[in-house]
Structure 1
Amino acid sequence: MGTFNTKLAGVTYDCPNGTNRQQVIRKYVKVGQRVFLVREPNNQYSPDAIGAWIVHKGFFKNTKYHIGYIANSISCRLAGEIDGGKKVTGRVKDITGGCAGASFGVNIEVNANYED
């Protein structure tokens, strides 16, 4: 699939554990930051789901945060490749919105060339 840009889906919904994704994006997501793309084959909405996670490096410990999903229109093609052992990486390209009470969005660059 090469390298491509995409907007994360689900960034306005809270995580199942109650974490508010909008607060996480506002506080911890930075342009250039690595995004870990994790398959979720048991996801109740899509067996092709690919979650997007960041790691916030704290003073005493690192914390993982789930910030959204790869859109189903892309994950339906990418999931099989990840399941087949291909390494797919991501980086934050842009953080959008957030002004005048608007929700934040996150655009990422996905590298599906299988190199970091």
Structure 2
Amino acid sequence: MPEKIPTKVRGVTKQNEDGQNRQSIIKKFVDEYSDIYLDNEPENSYNPNAVAVYVYDDQNEQQQIGYLSDDLANRFHDKLNLMECVVDSVTGGGEGESLGVNIILIINTPEEIEEKRRVLAENKKTETPVISQPIKKAPSKPVSSKSRTIALFLCLLLGIFGGHQFYAGRTVLGFIYLFTGGIFLVGWVIDIIKIITGTFNDKSGKQITNW
């Protein structure tokens, strides 16, 4: 049987990098029937194992509502392909209360994943409804309109001063780099690798992949 872990989404009162308030997103788009998706966030300066929690809005765009706890992220960041996530309940919302989101993580074994895929494939052939829920995983991140060439150029020349971070719209990180020498050069080197491999994101979480 799959392991089921009830937990609470962390950071639900924060704002996203694009300025959207997570409380507003939860109020509009999260209920007990919402599809919840998990995605790795290796560029997170606080915890490279961070796992972000997303919901889709009415425009079919993914919106971040928070994170898994550090403990769960450190345990499962490399097992998202085996995981499903469902909403258990939305809490709070009364006068002076913030909204919270309780979720249930379902940890499958590789054999269980294969069995679900087999059942889904058979269901597709026979068009017979299947009770088991489709496996959910985080969708691929959308592509940014920013240029990877410019980002790499700025990173190589002005990276320790945060030039590429400012270009990507990540102002806070830009100032952090400015006053820490690209977080003591380590963050600068990591960002060069990310830009070259196309995994560097802009402020909206979109990957800068186009040269």
Q: TM-score category by the smaller chain?
A: 0.7 to 0.9
Aligned partner (choices 58, 79, 84) of residue 81 of structure 1: 79
- Specify the code of the residue in structure 1 equivalent to 2:86: R
Separation of aligned partners in 2, 1:77 and 1:62: 29
Separation of aligned partners in 1, 2:14 and 2:33: 23
Q: State the structure with more CA Rg.
A: 2
Tell me by how many angstroms 1:64 deviates: 1.3
Query: How does the TM-score come out when normalised to structure 2?
Result: 0.49
Separation of aligned partners in 2, 1:44 and 1:104: 26
Q: Which residue pairs with 1:52 in the alignment?
A: 53
Q: Which residue pairs with 1:28 in the alignment?
A: 29
1:1-58 per-residue CA deviation (whole Å, 9 max, x = no partner) reads: 82111100000000011010001111110113221000111111101100000112x3
Higher relative CO (Cα under 8 Å, sequence separation at least 6) belongs to 1
Higher helix residue share? 2
Q: Which residue pairs with 1:110 in the alignment?
A: 105
Tell me by how many angstroms 1:99 deviates: 0.4
Query: How does the TM-score come out when normalised to structure 1?
Result: 0.87
1:93 and 2:88 are equivalent in the alignment? yes
Other structure's SS at 2:23 match: helix
Higher strand residue share? 1
Separation of aligned partners in 2, 1:101 and 1:27: 18
Tell me by how many angstroms 1:87 deviates: 2.6
Separation of aligned partners in 2, 1:50 and 1:62: 21
Number of residue pairs matched? 110
**Alignment identity in percent?**
32
Separation of aligned partners in 2, 1:100 and 1:110: 30
Separation of aligned partners in 2, 1:108 and 1:9: 11
Other structure's SS at 2:82 match: coil
Gaps of 5+ in 1: none
Separation of aligned partners in 2, 1:24 and 1:81: 26
Q: RMSD of the TM alignment (CA)?
A: 1.5
1:68 and 2:66 are equivalent in the alignment? yes
- Specify the code of the residue in structure 2 equivalent to 1:110: L
Other structure's SS at 1:80 match: coil
Gaps of 5+ in 2: 114-134, 136-211
Which ranges of 4 or more aligned residues in structure 1 deviate by more than 6 Å? none
Separation of aligned partners in 2, 1:90 and 1:111: 6
Separation of aligned partners in 2, 1:35 and 1:77: 19
Separation of aligned partners in 1, 2:49 and 2:23: 24
